[in-house]
């Protein structure tokens, strides 16, 4: 279940080009519960969080409320079985802006090596890739519909969830329209 975001999203996308970063340098490691144990310098630059903000915090600290809960359930189900997971993610930065990445997540052992035996998993490693505009567009359309559906299925919405649902109804039909408002 999604927690209330720490900041109100601006709905302004920041790209890797804007920040002068290579998405492949955004690397994180977590323990078994998703608590960040390592965040690369590039990851900290892109998220605008400090090392002390990130290390010891749940990885969900960067979760944008736009993201469907189903995406993260799929990720957790997959990596806890000892399998590789890859998916598009819209992350919320500390400055309230967001960015898109394709996350590639693998279970790791105590030495940091990729492992597929669920009994040997000590944590998780995530490496990112910058998605194309087409990939972002596809994810945006799918996630907008999924997130709206998730919210509508809930019996009681928290105030921030009601606000998000209203915002989803007002968002453009595609990401390009949203980007035009940069």
Secondary structure letter of residue 158 according to DSSP? -
158: confidence class by pLDDT, cuts 50, 70, 90: confident
Cβ–Cβ under 8 Å, residues 162 and 170: no
Supply the CATH classification number for the domain 16-131: 3.30.450.20
Model pLDDT, residue 174: 63
7: tokens are: 């900041």
Phi and psi of 88, rounded to 5°?
-80, 140
Model pLDDT, residue 182: 46
pTM: 0.89
pLDDT tens track for 81-127? 999 999 999 999 999 999 999 999 999 999 999 999 999 999 999 99
* Angstrom distance (rounded) from CA 27 to CA 36: 11
* Angstrom distance (rounded) from CA 114 to CA 107: 6
pLDDT tens track for 125-144? 999 999 999 999 999 999 99
pLDDT tens track for 32-42? 999 999 999 99
């Amino acid at each position: 279940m999604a927690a209330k975001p720490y900041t109100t999203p601006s709905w302004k996308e920041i790209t890797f080009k804007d920040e002068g970063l290579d998405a492949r340098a955004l690397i994180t490691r977590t323990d078994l519960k998703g608590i960040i144990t390592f965040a690369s310098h590039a990851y900290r630059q892109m998220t605008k969080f400090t090392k002390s903000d990130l290390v010891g915090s749940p990885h969900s600290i960067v979760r944008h409320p736009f993201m469907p809960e189903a995406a993260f359930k799929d990720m957790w189900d997959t990596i806890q079985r000892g399998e590789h997971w890859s998916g598009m993610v819209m992350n919320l930065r500390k400055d309230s802006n967001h960015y898109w990445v394709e996350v590639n997540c693998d279970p790791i052992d105590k030495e940091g090596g990729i492992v597929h035996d669920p009994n040997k998993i000590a944590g998780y490693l995530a490496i990112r890739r910058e998605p194309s505009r087409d990939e972002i567009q596809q994810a945006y359309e799918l996630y907008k519909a999924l997130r709206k559906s998730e919210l509508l299925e809930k019996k009681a919405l928290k105030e921030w969830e009601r606000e998000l649902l209203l915002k989803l109804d007002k968002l453009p039909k595609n990401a390009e329209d949203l980007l035009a408002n940069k």
